């Protein structure tokens, strides 16, 4: 590389001039192509995967800043030669714990009292001695762990289940707040820095506007946007997202030179990390409460979302004495803020039609700022809720936003009700083009469009659901595209999605589509021609069958052909016995397949009946057959349980806090021993393991006479 090129290569993308960018773009393109040939054709790579990823990330970032440099030759315009299908798993050196919450002043006091009690018992703490707490704003983002070896960033992972996370190193490399090399003295040789990846509100709104303009996914809030951006398979995309990072904890740290948390925060800054300036060392409970109030008052004007304040015992030797219970430390707690509320005018009530025809009333509001986010719509849930609240168009209403929950209308302000308002009357005709009668569901609060499969609104919603994240997850085919394609006849049923690649010429002619976006769409569709059975089941949008039930069904039947054959059989059996199974007949008497379905733990007669109804419709079966002709549905790898497994066929429930292992580890161990682990206690439960502070499940087990074990007995039984 020439001297000049070397200089340009060391300049941050944000600081490149147009001319430098052009030269650097050319150089990177050539270099990547050179390494592609070495890797793919000669099987003789010269650089590590991480170094290669870095080149691609930089190239993408340059193209994001200077889009005019993108040309068809650029490596970014070809599918990455080694596409990552999923992230590799990373086991954390120390578990990533979560925090207990305090919602009230009493709960905060209980935390402080408990800390004092334990320390007085276990150390020489005097009754009136101070316990300093490091108090920090609680950022609403996602926590990650960064591994540094000899001061060099080598790997970064998401929290995952606390024990194992996902390797997102190339993506984290694109975040400018994360140093690649630590500076200063005293950096531990083997070191995990932990903290929060987040997005500032303003940057989030701008990003959403860009996404919307490009017909791409729009995120509900900064936290989702941060999580979605970090979990991109293409780190070039992450590089274009405005992600930030605050450091606030550690995992392994060998050798560790600091004795207090506040000392650690200072060191982090020296080493090159950003730490949250909203941090204070408080020495008395009054100081702690004052800090909480101050931060609460500042909250609406902060550039990022926070959802509370975290208090941590400052002295690390005390933290070690306090230890942790279950998966949360006893030396820290999150003091949460109440949900954010605001008042605004209700301009109208619209009815939305969902994929199952359920009608949801939506409040159209005078836009208002609720804790930094503009809210113009809020859910009113259903007709009964409007009746209960008696909100009327023209009212001043109170709305609430809490975390990522959809904003809700809480009620109206009586003193501000205009003179002439009318009680809201729920429409009797559906707003869909069919203008069908609205049916009230017997006993239920839901009202539905009676257009069923014919209703175009429902058809569009079903297609949207089909491509959504937990189903087929087809990127680049957003809600607006689905609607437009549907209206123009390109899409009617799910199988049509997989015929879109044959219609690229038509799509390319449409407004907003170019060569690149069409190519990306086609590769996103092709990538989903193979799908797991649970996603396949979930995507069908069968009433009452969501992600969790789809997983259970996939586990039980294992393979798409078996599942389909069994469902068709169950539906036929059910048809022959139209009487109410709950009262008249036991499910197993109706038929073998129907009985099997009803007897799956966590599926009951109601869910089974919804399934049978779905499988009695010829149209639905046609949709599935059409998909099966075009897709490969992967069979589930089933756990093989030895015939002599000690807990074979046993149904086990864990309740309360376990102190020697995490709940997930206990569950995994039980499953290894052949058990099925469920969440609720019923007559079918074989065994309940009761930890500390257990509540209703332990009581229920006693009532039903189900065998219970203490944690100690469980450990002995499971020898773990
Ligand atoms: S400390 C063992 N400090 O809150 C201590 N967490 O509800 C682990 N969070 O998973 C966390 N700001 O994602 C800590 N200053 C802060 C934090 C913070 C935000 C998040 C973090 C954690 C969650 C726990």
Domain containing residue 686: CATH number? 3.40.50.10190
Nearest residue (CA) to ligand 1, atom 18: 138
Nearest residue (CA) to ligand 1, atom 2: 97
For residue 96, tell me if it sits in a domain: no
End residue of a domain, out of 276, 306, 336: 336
Give CA–CA dist 51/28, Å, rounded: 12
CA 192 to chain centre: 24
For residue 95, tell me if it sits in a domain: no
Mean pLDDT by runs of 10 across the 720 residues of the chain is 82 87 91 76 60 80 83 66 60 91 92 95 92 96 96 94 90 96 95 97 88 73 88 89 97 96 97 97 96 92 92 97 87 89 94 90 93 84 89 95 72 94 94 90 77 90 92 89 95 96 94 90 95 95 85 91 96 91 81 91 84 93 95 84 83 86 81 83 89 84 89 83
Among 96, 103, 247, 248, which residue has the most ligand 1 atoms within 8 Å of its CB, making it the best to mutate? 248
Residue 431 maps to which CATH number?
A: 2.40.50.140
Which atom of ligand 1 sits closest to the CA of residue 137?
Answer: 15
- The residue behind tokens 């995967």 is 49
Q: Which residues line ligand 1 (CB under 6 A)?
A: 97-99, 136, 138-139, 143, 196, 248-249, 310, 329, 332, 334
For residue 237, tell me if it sits in a domain: yes
Residue 259 half-sphere exposure toward CB, CA atoms < 13 A: 1
Q: Which of 301, 300, 363 is nearest to 337 (CA)?
A: 300
Q: Which of 95, 136, 131, 96 is nearest to 111 (CA)?
A: 131
Give CA–CA dist 69/672, Å, rounded: 54
Distance, CA 233 to ligand 1 centroid (Å)?
Answer: 26
CA 4 to chain centre: 45
Which atom of ligand 1 sits closest to the CA of residue 249?
Answer: 1
End residue of a domain, out of 388, 414, 444: 444
What pLDDT score was predicted for residue 639? 64
User: SS3 of 434, please?
Assistant: coil
Which atom of ligand 1 sits closest to the CA of residue 196?
Answer: 13
Q: Per the structure, how many domains does the chain have?
A: 6
Is 285 found in the same domain as 250? yes
Which atom of ligand 1 sits closest to the CA of residue 141?
Answer: 13
Is 351 found in the same domain as 326? no
What pLDDT score was predicted for residue 381? 83
Nearest residue (CA) to ligand 1, atom 23: 98
For residue 449, tell me if it sits in a domain: no
Is 242 found in the same domain as 125? yes
CB atoms within 10 A of CB 638: 11
SS3 per residue for 213-241: HCCCCCCCCHHHHHHHHHCCCCHHHHHCC
Residues 6+ apart with CB under 8 A from 3: none
Residue 276 maps to which CATH number?
A: 3.30.470.30
What pLDDT score was predicted for residue 77? 66
Provide the residue range defining the domain that includes 614: 534-634
Distance, CA 97 to ligand 1 centroid (Å)?
Answer: 8
For residue 82, tell me if it sits in a domain: no
Distance, CA 32 to ligand 1 centroid (Å)?
Answer: 39
Which atom of ligand 1 sits closest to the CA of residue 136?
Answer: 15
User: Where does 214-363 have alpha helices with state H?
Assistant: 222-230, 235-239, 261-271, 285-298, 316-322
What pLDDT score was predicted for residue 103? 86
Is 665 found in the same domain as 702? yes
Distance, CA 96 to ligand 1 centroid (Å)?
Answer: 10
Distance, CA 194 to ligand 1 centroid (Å)?
Answer: 9
Among 302, 310, 329, which residue has the most ligand 1 atoms within 8 Å of its CB, making it the best to mutate? 310
Is 209 found in the same domain as 144? yes
Distance, CA 459 to ligand 1 centroid (Å)?
Answer: 42
Is 345 found in the same domain as 276? no
- Cα 618 to Cα 7, 250, 535, 623, 624: the distances in Å are 67, 57, 22, 9, 10
For residue 151, tell me if it sits in a domain: yes
Residue 649 burial by CB count (10 A; 0-12/13-18/19+): exposed, middle or buried?
exposed
Is 437 found in the same domain as 544? no
Residue 435 burial by CB count (10 A; 0-12/13-18/19+): exposed, middle or buried?
exposed
Classify residue 640 by its DSSP letter: P
Give CA–CA dist 690/305, Å, rounded: 37
Which atom of ligand 1 sits closest to the CA of residue 279?
Answer: 15
End residue of a domain, out of 503, 528, 553: 528
Give CA–CA dist 257/188, Å, rounded: 8
What pLDDT score was predicted for residue 83? 31
Active-site amino acid positions: 138
Q: Identify the helix (H) or strand (E) that includes residue 22.
A: helix 18-36
Is 567 found in the same domain as 475? no
What pLDDT score was predicted for residue 720? 58
For residue 143, tell me if it sits in a domain: yes
What pLDDT score was predicted for residue 481? 93
What pLDDT score was predicted for residue 215? 67
Nearest residue (CA) to ligand 1, atom 17: 138
Partners of residue 102 on adjacent β-strands: 335
Is 311 found in the same domain as 164? yes
User: Where does 242-284 have alpha helices with state H?
Assistant: 261-271
Is 577 found in the same domain as 466? no
Nearest residue (CA) to ligand 1, atom 7: 99
Is 415 found in the same domain as 272? no
Residue 553 maps to which CATH number?
A: 1.10.150.20
Distance, CA 167 to ligand 1 centroid (Å)?
Answer: 20
What pLDDT score was predicted for residue 638? 67
Is 329 found in the same domain as 244? yes
Nearest residue (CA) to ligand 1, atom 9: 138
For residue 318, tell me if it sits in a domain: yes
């Amino acid at each position: 590389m020439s001297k000049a090129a070397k200089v340009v290569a060391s300049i941050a993308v944000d600081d490149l001039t147009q001319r430098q960018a052009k030269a650097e773009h050319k150089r990177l393109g050539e270099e990547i192509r050179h390494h592609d040939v070495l890797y793919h054709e000669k099987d003789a790579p010269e650089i590590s995967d991480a170094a290669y990823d870095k080149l691609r990330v930089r190239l993408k970032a340059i193209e994001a800043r200077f889009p005019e440099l993108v040309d068809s030759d650029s490596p970014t315009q070809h599918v990455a030669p080694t596409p990552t299908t999923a992230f590799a798993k990373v086991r954390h050196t120390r578990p990533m714990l979560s925090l207990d919450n305090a919602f009230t002043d009493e709960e905060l006091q209980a935390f402080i009292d408990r800390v004092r009690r334990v320390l007085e018992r276990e150390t020489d703490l005097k009754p009136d001695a101070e316990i300093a707490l490091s108090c920090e704003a609680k950022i609403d983002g996602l926590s990650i762990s960064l591994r540094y070896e000899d001061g060099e960033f080598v790997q970064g992972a998401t929290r995952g289940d606390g024990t194992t996370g996902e390797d997102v190193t190339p993506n984290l490399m694109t975040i400018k707040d994360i140093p690649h090399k630590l500076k200063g003295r005293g950096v531990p040789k083997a070191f995990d820095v932990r903290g929060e990846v987040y997005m500032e509100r303003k940057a989030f709104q701008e990003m959403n506007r860009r996404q919307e303009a490009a017909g791409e996914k729009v995120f509900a809030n900064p936290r989702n946007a941060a999580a979605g951006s970090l979990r991109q398979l293409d780190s070039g995309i992450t590089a274009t997202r405005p992600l930030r990072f605050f450091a606030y904890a550690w995992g392994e740290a060998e050798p560790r030179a600091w004795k207090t948390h506040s000392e650690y925060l200072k060191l982090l800054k020296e080493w090159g990390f950003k730490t949250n300036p909203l941090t204070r060392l408080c020495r008395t409970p009054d100081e702690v409460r004052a800090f909480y109030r101050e931060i609460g008052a500042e909250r609406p004007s902060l550039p990022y979302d926070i959802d509370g304040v975290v208090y941590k015992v400052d002295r690390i030797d005390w933290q070690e004495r306090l230890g942790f219970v279950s998966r949360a430390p006893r030396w820290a707690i999150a003091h949460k803020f109440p949900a954010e509320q605001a008042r605004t005018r209700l301009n109208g009530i619209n009815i939305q039609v969902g994929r199952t025809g359920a009608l949801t009333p939506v409040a159209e509001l005078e836009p208002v700022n609720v804790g930094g986010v503009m809210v113009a719509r809020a859910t009113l849930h259903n007709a009964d809720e409007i009746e209960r609240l008696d909100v009327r168009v023209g009212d001043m209403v109170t709305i609430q936003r809490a975390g990522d929950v959809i904003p809700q209308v809480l009620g109206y302000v009586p003193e501000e009700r205009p003179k002439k308002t009318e009680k809201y009357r729920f429409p009797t005709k559906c707003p869909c083009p069919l203008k069908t009668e609205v049916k009230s569901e017997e006993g239920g609060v839901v009202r539905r469009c009676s257009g069923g499969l014919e209703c175009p609104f429902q058809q569009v919603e079903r297609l949207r659901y089909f491509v959504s994240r937990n189903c087929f997850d087809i990127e680049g085919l957003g809600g607006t595209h689905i609607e437009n394609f549907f209206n123009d006849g390109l899409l009617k049923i799910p199988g049509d999605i997989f015929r879109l690649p044959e219609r690229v010429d038509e799509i390319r002619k449409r407004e907003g589509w170019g060569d690149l976006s069409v190519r990306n769409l086609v590769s996103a569709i092709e990538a989903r021609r193979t799908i797991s059975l649970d996603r396949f089941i979930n995507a069908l949008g069968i009433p009452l069958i969501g992600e969790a039930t789809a997983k259970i069904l996939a586990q039980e039947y294992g393979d798409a052909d078996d599942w389909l054959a069994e469902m068709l059989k169950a539906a036929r059996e059910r048809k022959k016995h139209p009487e109410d199974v709950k009262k008249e007949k036991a499910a197993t008497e109706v038929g073998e397949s129907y009985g099997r379905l009803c007897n799956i733990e966590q599926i009951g007669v109601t869910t089974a009946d919804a399934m049978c109804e779905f499988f009695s419709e010829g149209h639905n079966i046609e949709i599935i057959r059409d998909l099966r002709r075009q897709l490969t549905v992967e069979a589930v790898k089933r756990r093989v349980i030895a015939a002599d497994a000690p807990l074979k066929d046993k149904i086990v429930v864990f309740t309360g806090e376990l102190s020697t292992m995490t709940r997930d580890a206990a569950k995994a161990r039980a499953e290894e021993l052949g058990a099925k682990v469920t969440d609720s206690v019923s007559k079918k439960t074989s065994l309940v393991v009761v930890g500390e502070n257990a509540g209703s499940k332990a009581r229920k087990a006693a009532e039903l006479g189900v065998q219970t074990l203490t944690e100690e007995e469980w450990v002995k039984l499971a020898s773990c």
